[in-house]
Amino acid sequence: MSRGKCAGCDYVGPDGKARDHIMSCPGFAEAYRERGQSIGTVEQVYEEWVREGRPRARAEAHARSVAVTDARRSAMADRFRTKDILED
């Protein structure tokens, strides 16, 4: 079974469902107005996304996760930092 992706949003699914989805997707309608038939089929959009977009999306999600973890660790370190009572 082949996979497909909407060119206007993040919908990914079986190619038949992806074709059904693009008929009512406002994001796809906007992309079609901008790029016309150069968008390609849902299968072509999926293959391009697998080659280029998916690794980039995973890297961005990982960077966000690392930033959240760093912020939590910093907050925890501030919360449990010992204070010198003679310093004040």
- Judged against a pLDDT cut of 80, whether residue 1 lies above it is answered with no
For residue range 31-66, what is the model confidence (pLDDT) as tens digits?
Answer: 888 888 888 888 988 998 888 888 888 898 999 999
Residue 74 has a pLDDT of 93
Picking from 41, 3, 38, 48, the residue whose alpha carbon sits closest to that of residue 22 is 41
Total-model pTM: 0.58
Q: How far apart are CA 84 and CA 44, in angstroms?
A: 63
- In this structure, what is the dihedral angle of CA atoms 73, 57, 17, 32, given to the nearest 10 degrees? 130
Question: What are the tens digits of pLDDT across the range 2-22?
Answer: 899 988 888 889 988 998 998
For residue 49, give the DSSP letter. I
Residue with tokens 């760093």: 70
